[in-house]
Amino acid sequence: MINLHWLYALAGAIFAGFALGSVRDETNAKRWGNAAFWSLLAISFWFGDFFGDIGNGVLVLAVVAVAGLHLIGRGSKQSTTAEERQHSSDRYGNWLFLPALIIPFIAFVGTLLFNYTPLKGLNLIDTKAVTLVLLGCGVSVALVIGYSWLRPPALAAVDDGSRLANGIGWAIVLPQMLASLGVIFAAAGVGTTIGAIVGAIIPQGSILLAVLLYALGMVAFTMIMGNAFAAFPVMAAAIGVPILIQADGGNPAVVGAVGMLSGFCGTLMTPMAANFNIVPAALLELKNQYGVIKVQVATAIPLLIANIIILYIAGFHL
């Protein structure tokens, strides 16, 4: 049966490829630091199950040390010239996006076929990891099609992948780190503590105030953690479940769904959500690394106001 361990092996291979590509980039003065950074991540995905909690903790500290000591950087190596890229664009046009579109297509359609056809009964894929496994399959298929169609050099994926990864740097693994932080916060009882404080502040039956604190708390914790999924367990344990649902009788589906949407408003306004806000700025080579966030604030604030209104009306008055 194909499960998450297969996907971890694939992810480890990708990080190992980044390490190899970093070593091959002689224009990068920090190539050995980059190689160490990506190698540590590859080791984590390949052998993390065997290291135990302490071993994985040491591995994470090593990753942080390499990044924190500024041992990683980007080189100036280009796999193709500007003229070659322009020629490829003129020749293939928007069809160049085909390999990228194959990935979500296989993940989406494959999940539907697995769940609504006899494929589910064959036990080929772990039912708890269907979408993620198919996402990995999509990446593999797109890679094969890209090589077969465009016929690049054998190590093009390694070199260009590492060039892109080194351009993004440590921010590429920030979502994983922040998600882990959310689990730690929840396990430490942060949500319960906040709930006790909020319960003492909010007058009994003051639904609007509870809704405001819940939505704004989701925004604040998301901005701190950079991930609404990490913030949700904390705020759900603090306000969502004990106050809005149990005490005030709110609709659980609305409280959960709109609460998450409120958290996503925070995602739009924080550099901690590096994969959404800092990485695109790096990829687009913007002069201001916070340029994406500045543009998104105008959307995030009205959206947050709309979420609060929806949560108050649909959660308690419909």
| Average pLDDT per block of 10 residues along the chain, 318 residues long | 87 93 89 93 92 89 90 80 80 87 91 81 80 90 91 86 85 75 76 78 84 93 84 86 89 92 92 78 77 90 95 89
The predicted pLDDT at position 39 comes to: 95
The predicted pLDDT at position 247 comes to: 86
The predicted pLDDT at position 302 comes to: 95
The predicted pLDDT at position 248 comes to: 87
Cβ density class 11-39: b for 16+ within 10 Å, e for less:
bbebbbbbbbbbbbbeebebbebbbbbbb
* Tokens 């069809």, located at residue: 95
The predicted pLDDT at position 261 comes to: 93
Q: What does the alpha-carbon distance between residue 318 and residue 145 come to, in Å, rounded to a whole number?
A: 50
Task: Please give the helix or strand (H or E) that residue 72 lies within, else none.
Answer: none
Q: What does the alpha-carbon distance between residue 291 and residue 281 come to, in Å, rounded to a whole number?
A: 7
The predicted pLDDT at position 251 comes to: 92
The predicted pLDDT at position 259 comes to: 92
Q: How many CB atoms lie within 10 A of CB 119?
A: 14
Beta-carbon contacts of residue 150 (< 8 Å; ≥ 6 apart): 88
- Tokens for 280, please give them: 């695109």
The predicted pLDDT at position 36 comes to: 94
Q: What does the alpha-carbon distance between residue 204 and residue 258 come to, in Å, rounded to a whole number?
A: 22
The predicted pLDDT at position 151 comes to: 85
